[in-house]
Amino acid sequence: APFFKQPNPLSLSSLPMASVLIHPLLFSLLLLLHTSFSLLQTPEEFPPSVLLPISKDGPSGQYLAQIHHGNPLGLAHLVFDLGSPFVWTDCGSSRPTSLTCRSIQCSAATSASCPAASSAVAPPPCTLSLQNPVTGESASGELVEDGVVLALDDEGPIAAVDGFLLSCAPSILLKGLASGARGVLGFGRTRIGAPEQISHSFGYSKKFFLCLSSSNGMFFSGEGLNLDFSKSLIYTPLLNGDDYSINLKAIQIQNNKLSLGLPNKISQFGSIKVSTISRYSTMKSEIYRVFLRAFTMGAESQNLTLVQPVAPFGACFRS
């Protein structure tokens, strides 16, 4: 059964958004999570698909998407993050609908306990622990329902949700985000993450296509994804969990497999976590030391010259 109320279409008149981090220059991510939903609206009321353009902020390297939300309807640029479990924004003067800690929406968002019921005292608001994915700073924010428009054309909203769940964060949490960003579009694999809400709101299958390049990208969900990608793409399954991770079986340098000296291990390296925040690939220290030693030996065998490293990298070479 749905864990939050089925949203209704909106119109402008009714509107009062061991791990290794891999940051790809170009990648496509297809998420397949099969769940059936009961739909309270007829299919013709849904847009056939949602296409969300994504841009890249040069100075910060962060990817940005934009939504419209609130009453009056306002534009918000949000940092696109696969690792954040919630959508959160600096709500400013907007007054979205608050939710209490006893609401079914709050139960879907957090496992935190709620004070015992009392007829004389109103239940407190539903609060979530929010995190800035860039700085790591945390703060509390209230879970709210708001009207959100994901796509607009000249005639008005074409992909809108009434009752979209997001959190209002204190403005101090914006520090470190790209210039002009008002929050984070959390695409984590949670019950109130953006993918879950989009697929449920419009009755789509629980899968999406994400393509990011060094300058821009796009998110797509809806019709047009009824393809067997396994026949046309090399792919690897996602691991179970709250993030987007894949199993790492080996690392090879000049066709030689790297060894950490850990016998009888199915995987010495753990998993790879796909990140849209990190600007370059990172490794755990114990893996990086072995990798750097092997890579330096391989570079020297190719007559590459070791030069003064440029932060934050530990080794740089001149060909």
Q: How far apart are CA 49 and CA 220, in angstroms?
A: 7
pLDDT at residue 258 greater than cutoff 90: no
Q: Where are the extended beta strands (E) located within 41-90?
A: 49-56, 63-69, 74-81, 88-89
Q: Report the domain count for the chain.
A: 1
Indicate yes or no: pTM above 0.85: no
Helix (H, G, I), strand (E, B) or coil at 263: coil
pLDDT for 44 beyond 50: no
Angstrom distance (rounded) from CA 199 to CA 207: 8
Residue 145, beta-bridge partner list: 97, 165
With respect to residue 72, please indicate whether it lies within any of the assigned structural domains: yes
Q: Dihedral, CA atoms, 31, 169, 148, 276, nearest 10 degrees?
A: -30
The answer to whether residue 314 is domain-embedded is: no
Tell me how far apart the alpha carbons of residues 58 and 48 are, in angstroms, rounded to a whole number: 32
End-to-end Cα, the chain, rounded Å: 60
Q: Is residue 214 part of a domain?
A: yes
Task: Copy the structure tokens of residue 222.
Answer: 């809806």
Per-residue model confidence as pLDDT tens digits over 197-241: 999 999 888 888 899 999 999 999 987 666 566 677 777 889 988
CB-count burial class (<10 Å; 0-12, 13-18, 19+) for 122: exposed
At 26 the pLDDT is: 37
Domain that holds residue 159: 19-231
Q: Give every strand in the sheet of 245-247, ordered side by side.
A: 19-22, 271-274, 245-247
> Per the domain annotation, does 285 fall within a domain?
no
Residue 34 within any structural domain of the chain: yes
Whether residue 10 is contained in a domain is answered as: no
* 64 pLDDT higher than 50: yes
In three-state form (DSSP H/G/I as H, E/B as E, the rest C), the secondary structure along 124-140 is CECEEEEECCCCCCEEE
Highest-scoring range by mean pLDDT, 166-180, 192-206, 266-280: 166-180
Give the Cα-Cα-Cα angle 30, 4, 223 (nearest 5 degrees).
Answer: 35
Task: Please choose, from the candidates 201, 181, 152, the residue with its C-alpha nearest in 3D space to the C-alpha of residue 40.
Answer: 201
Mean pLDDT of the chain: 81
Average pLDDT over residues 181-199: 95
Measured distance CA(200)–CA(238) in Å, rounded: 21
The Cα–Cα gap between 86 and 257 comes to: 38
**Closest among 111, 92, 91, 90 to 101, alpha carbons compared:** 111
- The answer to whether 74 and 91 are in contact (CB under 8 A) is no
Is 119 domain-assigned?
Answer: yes
Find the DSSP H helices in the chain: 104-109, 194-202, 285-301
Q: If you average pLDDT over residues 104-122, what whole number do you get?
A: 80
Amino acid making up residue 301: S
What CATH number corresponds to the domain at position 93? 2.40.70.10
* pLDDT score of 227: 59
User: What is residue 172's predicted lDDT score, i.e. its pLDDT?
Assistant: 95
Helices (H) and strands (E) in the chain, counts: 3, 19
Indicate whether 241 belongs to any domain.
Answer: no
pLDDT, position 53 = 94
